[in-house]
Structure 1
Amino acid sequence: MIPTQMKHATTAMALVFAGLAQTASADTLRLLTWGGYAPEEVVELFEAETGHTVEVTKSNNEEMIAKLRATGGGGFDLAQPSQDRIAGPQAEFGIYKPMDLSKLDQTQFIGSMLSATIANTTVDGAVYGVPHVWGTSGLVTDTANAGSVKDYTDLCNADVAGKVSYRLKRPTLIGFAFSMGLDPFAAYGDEAAYKEIMGKVEAKLTDCKPGVKTYWGGGDELMGLMRSGEVVASMAWDTGGWKLNADNADITFVAPASGALGWIDTFVLPAKGKSDDAAYAWINFVMKPEIAAMITNAAGNFTASKGADAFVSADLKARYQASFPPEAVDKINWYPPVPAGLEAIEGGVLDRVKAAK
């Protein structure tokens, strides 16, 4: 017979091993994400379907990178930084681990977005990110009064002079460059070439300055300008255009002919994450079109889930499909990571345009 003390020791040891086994199963997903990207109803459905539990921590790009740097990539199993916050931090700090794309249902992704994100998050031959939520900046126009505005440089057209606006920020420089037939992103690795492109954009913006009503600084300011009719065309974000469309059917977001400028918030695996299986299960789950639509309804932005627009609210679906037919989605110019030194070039251009008479 086993002595009573040995029984107790054996039982205690069994409990310890059971606890370790439960930890090793790693069935809790610790998700570091943005507000609206993991709605409670989606979490509940995922937990019921998979048996995994989810702990959600809401954050932003700066905080995400800071948290992962502080722990060497620990504390979370899945994070959602923007795609331009992956290659640089990974090369410098090693806070992510490569993704195994074979564990993802790639057919659920919009192909052009998946390809762009893979290209922008590849470091030393390994892929570190796949796309989730995205948005764009492009044109918001009063179609009844600014029908000629189809691309960024059309904001310089004589028929809308005095009734256009945009921000004096880098998206305006990038958008105008593409509209002028230039490719600023292709010049990211050549500082001299980038200066030449920015010089041409500076000349164009300076020439167009007399026709600008004002350079808007915040979304509320632009909303007021468009609603009052003081401005009939501007550069702006897609969600702002759709909000205006809800009040005035003539005003809407237009994807520019040369391509809207796109940002993507991704999925990445932190270097010391313990629940990779749960992380892959979450990605595959939320990329289902019906589930992705629930996230769009909560966050206001669309996801890279193919066909999800068919399941969002009717009003948002109609606005999205009018602004983004498939060919417009494929033409989006996705922001890549910004090399050191380029923002200083852009800052000089913006200062000179602002000071120009």
Structure 2
Amino acid sequence: MKSAKTTLSLKKAILGVTAIVGLAFSAQAQAEELRLLTWGGYAPDAVVEQFKAETGIDVKVTKSNNEEMIAKLRATGGGGFDLAQPSQDRISGAQIENRIYKPMDLSKIDSSQFISSMLEATKANTTVDGEVYGVPHVWGTSGLVLDTKKAGDVKDYADLCNEAHAGKVSYRLKRPTLIGFAFSMGMDPFEAYGDTAKYQEIMDKVEAKLISCKANVKTYWEGGDALLNLVRSGEVVAAMAWDTGGWKLNGDNPDVTFVAPASGALGWIDTFALPRKTENEEAAYKWINFVMRPEIAAQITAEAGNFTASKGADAFAEDKLKAQFQASFPEQDLNNIKWYPTVPAGLETIEGKVLDRVKAASSN
């Protein structure tokens, strides 16, 4: 009996030690997980597996968009995730209002892997109280999609109003069109963001231009597929549209492609940002440095369809896409991209009224 009790006690002791060890391993496993809040295509399965094989860190991917990211982080005070990927113009306002992010430690980021102009632009646009809250990842632009044989004279947004292309151009009645036309008319709307009266003055001039241009417009496109079909059919020879749409058309017709406007393409950037309550900050920095390697970044481009801010990643892209990118963005055009800053309160109301008046005006 005594022997049986001793054996039982020993078994209990072993089970106790096993449970403690198990809890330790469980905690370790939990610590070695990166909870990523991102967009579809930004963390392909193959990249996640390569990262895990190299670092031992698993990546739990939650796909989202700007509105949902901010809502999730606001609801938890910046908890639940270790790394998020909001667009650069959605960081400073959310941080000022809700304090959902924490500053980036730039010493832990390999800045040599980034296209410097994009890194500096994102740092500037995500700085709050002297602290940087975001670095760039995936980006894209809007500019000109042209049939270069039929509309080779179109070099900037305002050239869409050239009489030679009456009835054969298209653009959206959205704020990027207002911004693009302003730049092409020699004004800087972003510089006027802090001056409502100055911004209104710029928008009044753009409004007059767009109203005078109505006769040139075949249609104000809304869905991307509809625009692509108009260009394919030859009904539209010049448009303001996204780079990826132009490259897609180029695959069908080498005369059609995306062209960066002389005044600069308009660029958006999805970033890396640290939620305020991140629990695995070191893993977040490891992931950033890993996916910004050119050969890894090229895999993300293949999955997402957009390029990243990784310096030299285009060299690893599929040959056709690489050629399209390099033709559309020689270095001077890449450095001339106008990156969207955070929109101050009140400006979108001004823009909305301008767009309504343009839409209501009769074409001459």
Structures share a fold, TM > 0.5?
yes
Determine helix, strand or coil for the equivalent of 2:221: coil
Report the counterpart of residue 301 of structure 2 in structure 1: 296
Aligned equivalents of 1:144, 1:12: Cα separation in 2: 74
Aligned equivalents of 1:205, 1:14: Cα separation in 2: 71
How many angstroms does 1:21 deviate by? 5.4
Q: Does 1:207 align with 2:180?
A: no
Q: Does 1:222 align with 2:227?
A: yes
Determine helix, strand or coil for the equivalent of 1:113: helix
Report the counterpart of residue 347 of structure 1 in structure 2: 352
Determine helix, strand or coil for the equivalent of 1:147: coil
Q: 2:321 aligns with which of 298, 316, 328?
A: 316
Identity of aligned residues (%): 73
Q: Deviations over 1:189-244 (max 9, x none)?
A: 11001000001101111111112111111111111110111110000000000110
Determine helix, strand or coil for the equivalent of 2:213: helix
Q: Does 1:137 align with 2:108?
A: no
How many angstroms does 1:48 deviate by? 0.5
Q: Deviations over 1:141-200 (max 9, x none)?
A: 000000100100000112112211111110000000000110000111110010000011
Determine helix, strand or coil for the equivalent of 1:43: helix
Q: 1:253 aligns with which of 258, 261, 277?
A: 258
Aligned equivalents of 2:23, 2:48: Cα separation in 1: 29
Could you list the structure 1 runs, at least 4 aligned residues long, displaced by more than 3 angstroms after superposition: 3-10, 12-17
Spell out the pairing of 1:31-110 with structure 2 (5 A cutoff).
31-110=36-115
RMSD: 1.7
Q: 2:21 aligns with which of 2, 5, 15?
A: 15
TM-score normalised by L of structure 2: 0.94
TM-score normalised by L of structure 1: 0.96
Determine helix, strand or coil for the equivalent of 1:182: coil
How many angstroms does 1:17 deviate by? 6.6
How many angstroms does 1:14 deviate by? 4.0
How many angstroms does 1:80 deviate by? 0.5
How many angstroms does 1:20 deviate by? 7.5
Determine helix, strand or coil for the equivalent of 2:34: strand
Determine helix, strand or coil for the equivalent of 1:36: coil
Aligned equivalents of 1:251, 1:299: Cα separation in 2: 22
Determine helix, strand or coil for the equivalent of 2:86: coil
How many residue pairs were aligned?
A: 355
Paired residue type of 2:254: A
Spell out the pairing of 1:177-192 with structure 2 (5 A cutoff).
177-192=182-197
Paired residue type of 2:154: V
Aligned equivalents of 2:134, 2:288: Cα separation in 1: 11
Q: Does 1:281 align with 2:277?
A: no
The structure with the largest alpha-carbon Rg is: 2
Q: Which runs of 5+ in 2 are unaligned?
A: 1-5
Aligned equivalents of 1:59, 1:212: Cα separation in 2: 35
